[in-house]
Amino acid sequence: MTSFTTLELQVDGAVARIWLNRPEMRNAIDDVFIRELGEAFAQAEAAPGVRAVVLGGRGPAFCAGANLNWMKRAAEFTPEQNLQDAAGLPRMLRTLHESRLPVIARVQGDVYAGGMGLVSVCDVAIAAEGANFCLSEVKIGLIPATISPYVIRAMGARAAQRYFLTGERFSAAEAHRIGFVHEVVPADALDAKVDEVLKNIAAAAPGAVSECKRLLRDVTGERIDDALSDETVRRIAALRAGEEGQEGLRSFLEKRKPSWVSR
């Protein structure tokens, strides 16, 4: 595994854990962070037997948004350099969003600006009760442009209208109410809840999980018409005839665990 300067990658059996690890900077995002997080996900996907990724943060904040020193440097870039530099974050977010592995956000602390983008591209988000959330870009004359497609999907357009425009901070309870996180638990129960989600993922067929992720990306927001119906029929038919589908059916009829579940 590569050694990183902004994060840690730990692979333990079926789970890869990526820890954002600059607590003194509240895990702020910069060009090095963006590059390393993309590389860490590539390594997690390539690691044999990994079934899921947990994304967590060290220290008091999960991710407090952009590193101010990085933003100061960007202010001196030419327009062309600014475009090139800005393109790194959407590439990294797509890497996480399109990962074949389910990704769980373990949110232990504050989530601001670009950190909201990180949480929104995860498949499951579990937050500690004390976490706070904020789309703060308008406070400094910017907009949450790059993260907006993912954040709007996660919290819905109506909630985004408020929090994009006001830049106000909101609680974990509010993040749960609007659907941005799936569950809120006491801080000392956070790891147990993440492990519970991992246990359920481990009981599911890995190929089917990956196909579910692709299905969600392809179907969400699409018009329900004959073409979409035909495509969904094609996908389920292919999986029924596939190795996992056949094994799942046999294991059910034979009243045993399927091959992908540890004995």
* 129 annotated active-site: no
The amino acid occupying position 135 is: L
Do the Cβ atoms of 203 and 251 come closer than 8 Å? no
Burial tier of 74 (Cβ tally within 10 Å: 0-12, 13-18, 19+): middle
Do the Cβ atoms of 119 and 125 come closer than 8 Å? yes
3-state SS assignment for residue 123 = coil
Query: What is the distance of C-alpha 250 from the center of its chain?
Result: 33
Hey, CA dihedral for 151, 155, 156, 159, is it positive or negative?
Answer: negative
Calculate ∠ Cα 190-193-199, nearest 5°.
Answer: 140
The catalytic residue among 137, 174, 211, 244 is 137
Question: Which residues are tagged catalytic?
Answer: 137
